[in-house]
Amino acid sequence: MSQHYWSPVVRGLVPYVPGEQPKVANLVKLNTNENPYPPSPKVFEAIHAAVNDSLRLYPDPDASALKKAIADYYAVDSSQVFVGNGSDEVLAHVFLAFFKQAQPILFPDISYSFYKVYCGLYEIDYRTIPLNEQFQIDVADYHHVNGGIIFPNPNAPTGCLLSLAAIETLLQANPDSVVVVDEAYIDFGGETAISLVNQYPQLLVTQTLSKSRSLAGLRVGLAVGQAHLIEALERVKNSFNSYPMDKLAIVGGVAAFEDKAYFQQTCQAIIDGRELLAQQLKDLGFDVLPSAANFVFARHPHKEAVQIAAALREKAIIVRHFKLPRIEQFLRITIGTEAESQALVEALKAL
Ligand SMILES: *Cc1c(COP(=O)(O)O)cnc(C)c1O
């Protein structure tokens, strides 16, 4: 009875399961790649100033102030920028706008698990391409007829970075379908592919303010590409929700892009914390994949990942474990504050 009224597609859905957000005090929360530092003080000022009578009115359906701030930041035209309620929403629109094709889309076997979920929702065929032995994307493996290609760069949950040169090789070999680079973690040491969008009409780059700009709670994501791709996304958005960006998200997002100094300072602190933690984990005997993200992906040659995760949890430290083929022995550990990383290292030493 419970599914009696459901449409067939809903019966078949396998929804994404977000990392836990436990309501426990004093937790060392290293499981969802949130930023340990607060948002820029300028974001708070902008949001406070926008809490007024004008909330009575609908926001700008085009979020043009936010698009302009992003366009200025990346030196592109506003017509090349799309914004949405988190990059998850942007990605959902991307799948419908570009990937619902006769041929399957391609993405890595070990990657962001939401991609399969969108394929289920929009009834899109996909084919996964295995990462190589070093858990890296090899673009030579993507020479297949396809309805589109998507991968995170750096990849999640491995943290491994693909060079811009490799991305260009892929674009040159694949001119006829859209290639999406999901740059959720690019600010922690990678180089954005936005510099390539004017050369490649099939390239779309997505980003989020959730990780490097400490605004996971505000829900702001974006895409940059040539105007013809953005127009397709606007068509989907305006067939779904005219006002995905509320007034507070628009002004907060603008302030986040304007405060470059704070952004650079917090990103650098996370990069320094990552290099230190990676070394400490190696000293404890872990294999640590090279990371360009705000997390590390590590395995211990003699200890079961599930058991390490359970033992850490006893000490109120939460990390992410994926019960998936090839990566069952790995833990994904978000870079926290110096104190949080030290608490983790002490707990691991005690184990
Ligand atoms: C976190 C993440 C996102 C989603 O970010 P939101 O903007 O918070 O929706 C997208 N892609 C990858 C690879 C991520 O890790």
- Reported as a single tens digit per residue, the pLDDT across 163-182 is 999 999 999 999 999 999 99
- Reported as a single tens digit per residue, the pLDDT across 316-350 is 999 999 999 999 999 999 999 999 999 999 999 99
Quick one: pLDDT band at residue 98, thresholds 50, 70, 90? very high
The residue to which tokens 């619902």 are assigned: 100
Q: What tokens were used for 121?
A: 């929702």
Q: Quick one: pLDDT at residue 76?
A: 98
* Omega prior to 36 cis, within 30 of 0: no
Q: Quick one: pLDDT at residue 301?
A: 95
- Reported as a single tens digit per residue, the pLDDT across 256-271 is 999 999 999 999 999 9
Quick one: pLDDT band at residue 24, thresholds 50, 70, 90? confident
Strand-pair partners of 317: 28
Q: How far is CA 317 from CA 47, 225, 278, 285, 347, in A?
A: 32, 40, 17, 20, 9
- Reported as a single tens digit per residue, the pLDDT across 42-76 is 999 999 999 999 999 999 999 999 999 999 999 99
Topology of domain 8-38+261-350 in CATH is: Aspartate Aminotransferase, domain 1 (3.90.1150)
CA distance 330 to 303: 10
Residue-range domain boundaries for the chain:
8-38+261-350, 52-259
Is residue 221 in contact with ligand 1, taking CB distance under 6 Å? yes
Instruction: Indicate which atom in ligand 1 lies nearest the CA of residue 185.
Output: 15
Which CATH number, 3.40.50.300, 3.40.140.10, 3.40.640.10, 3.30.565.10, labels domain 52-259? 3.40.640.10
Decide if pLDDT at 25 tops 90: no
Is residue 152 in contact with ligand 1, taking CB distance under 6 Å? yes
**Spacing, Cα 19 to ligand 1 middle (Å):** 12
User: 87, 110, 187, 335: which to mutate for ligand 1, most atoms within 8 A of CB?
Assistant: 87
* Omega prior to 61 cis, within 30 of 0: no
For residue 24, with 0-12 CB atoms within 10 Å meaning exposed, 13-18 middle and 19 or more buried, which class applies? exposed
Q: Quick one: pLDDT at residue 249?
A: 98
**Spacing, Cα 101 to ligand 1 middle (Å):** 24
Strand-pair partners of 276: none
Q: Quick one: pLDDT at residue 271?
A: 98
Q: Quick one: pLDDT at residue 30?
A: 96
Say what percent of the chain tops pLDDT 70: 100
Predicted model pTM:
0.97
For residue 314, with 0-12 CB atoms within 10 Å meaning exposed, 13-18 middle and 19 or more buried, which class applies? exposed
Decide if pLDDT at 1 tops 80: no
Atom 15 in ligand 1: which residue has the minimum CA distance? 184
Pairing type for strands 330-334 and 105-108 reads unpaired
Q: Quick one: pLDDT at residue 268?
A: 98
Q: Quick one: pLDDT at residue 225?
A: 98
